[in-house]
Amino acid sequence: MSNKGLLIVISGPSGAGKGTLCKALISRNNKLKLSVSCTTRRPRNGEVEGINYFFVEQEKFKDMIEKDELLEYAQVYDNYYGTPRFFVDKNLNEGFDVILEIDIQGALKIKEKYPEAVFIFILPPSMEELKNRIKKRGSETEESFLKRFKCAFQEINYISKYNYVVTNDVIEEAVKKLESIIIAEKCRVDRIKQSDIFIQLQEGCLNE
């Protein structure tokens, strides 16, 4: 029977705390891997190839697009960012669960290619807190703050495209919810073939 890992897509508005949650989740679960993106931008100080990003030349990136080697990609100013298929597939096939922390547009593209992935939307605990968090990140002007806040608020309309919504109020609790979602998803009947159940009953264990 299949021991393929789960693909877990985590999105949410800027300031919801996705990054913190993903880091906490990864640090506590050695069967989880965070997807590593490809980018055409130069490495910054301390960034490590294959850990922070796969750094590639623009030509190589365009070649990857053409060969459908990216699950999704986006251009931000002069640079490209994308999710390489090989990293995701390799880890899933080896039985690792793979976390993709990605914006909503990217998540929708992933859903076309991996409808069986688990889509989780992270919410800030309140609008007040969302405002504070966006402010802390240092939006320079009132205008840029308002733009970010409005954008975050609009994104919430996409929640219905997701399977789960987790409020990031107390980090410990939010991480526990994410861990529970992963455990529960592996027990879902629609992920398990009926034939596997009979094989299990002959041989061994089912939802590991």
Applying CB under 8 A, the residues found at the interface with a copy of itself are 120-121, 123-127, 130, 156-157, 159-160, 162-167, 169, 176-177, 179-181, 183-185, 187-189, 192, 194, 197-198, 200-207
16 assigned to a ligand binding site: yes
Q: Bridge-partner residues for 53, per DSSP?
A: 37, 49
Nearer to a copy of itself, 53 or 114 (CB): 114
160 assigned to a ligand binding site: no
Least distance from C-beta 146 to a copy of itself, angstroms?
Answer: 16
Tokens found for residue 19: 């990054």
Nearer to a copy of itself, 81 or 149 (CB): 149
Residues 31 and 95: beta-carbon distance below 8 Å: yes
State the virtual CA torsion across 80, 49, 19, 78 in degrees, nearest 10.
-20
Residues 72 and 37: beta-carbon distance below 8 Å: no
Least distance from C-beta 205 to a copy of itself, angstroms?
Answer: 6
* Cα 24 to Cα 73: distance, rounded to the nearest angstrom: 25
Nearer to a copy of itself, 48 or 205 (CB): 205
17 assigned to a ligand binding site: yes
Secondary structure E strands in 16-61? 32-34, 37-39, 53-55
161 assigned to a ligand binding site: no
Nearer to a copy of itself, 84 or 124 (CB): 124
Which residues, in sequence order, are CB contacts of 153 under 8 Å at separation 6+? 13, 127
14 assigned to a ligand binding site: yes
12 assigned to a ligand binding site: yes
Q: Closest by alpha carbon to 84, among 120, 92, 115, 76?
A: 92
Least distance from C-beta 69 to a copy of itself, angstroms?
Answer: 31
Nearer to a copy of itself, 36 or 182 (CB): 182
Write out the binding residues for ATP.
12-19
